[in-house]
């Protein structure tokens, strides 16, 4: 089945540094990638939608200069958390739209747990 590989799974970084999270579709083309943030015991919060070759669309309240999203190819989308601070600590997960598939399911990466110290 279709797989989205997300790396790293866990990262600890110092406050003020930047962290890049990669999501790679291994056996299909992901024209659209959704990036979510999830706080403990809460639901997923959509941060932005990225389409290959164009600028990402950010949800209201999400700082686009802090959360840089690049979707340069049909198989790779990246989220860079710039100048990270402890409040950016969270679980980040990507999801590729596979609308052409029979079950209309979305394929998720395995998530990245970011801790900023």
Name the residues that contact other proteins, by CB under 8 A: 32, 34, 38, 41-44, 46, 49, 91, 93, 95, 97, 99, 103-108, 110-111, 113
Q: 33: closest CA among 6, 10, 62?
A: 6
DSSP lists the bridge partners of residue 51 as 32
Residues 22/7, Cβ–Cβ less than 8 Å: yes
CA dihedral sign of residues 94, 99, 101, 105: positive
Q: How far is the CB of 22 from other proteins (least distance, A)?
A: 16
Q: Pick the closer one to other proteins by CB: 86 or 104.
A: 104
CA dihedral sign of residues 59, 36, 31, 75: positive
Q: Pick the closer one to other proteins by CB: 64 or 82.
A: 64
Q: Pick the closer one to other proteins by CB: 65 or 103.
A: 103
Q: Pick the closer one to other proteins by CB: 38 or 82.
A: 38
Q: How far is the CB of 36 from other proteins (least distance, A)?
A: 9
């Amino acid at each position: 089945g279709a797989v989205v590989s997300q790396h790293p799974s866990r990262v600890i970084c110092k406050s003020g540094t930047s962290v890049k999270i990669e999501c790679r579709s291994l056996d299909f083309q992901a024209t659209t990638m959704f990036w979510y943030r999830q706080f403990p015991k809460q639901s997923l919060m959509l941060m932005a939608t990225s389409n290959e070759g164009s600028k990402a669309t950010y949800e209201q309240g999400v700082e686009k200069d802090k959360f840089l999203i690049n979707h340069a190819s049909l198989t790779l989308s990246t989220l860079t958390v710039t100048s990270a601070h402890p409040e950016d600590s969270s679980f980040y997960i990507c999801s590729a739209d596979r609308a052409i598939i029979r079950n209309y399911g979305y394929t998720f990466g395995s998530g990245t747990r970011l801790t900023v110290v």
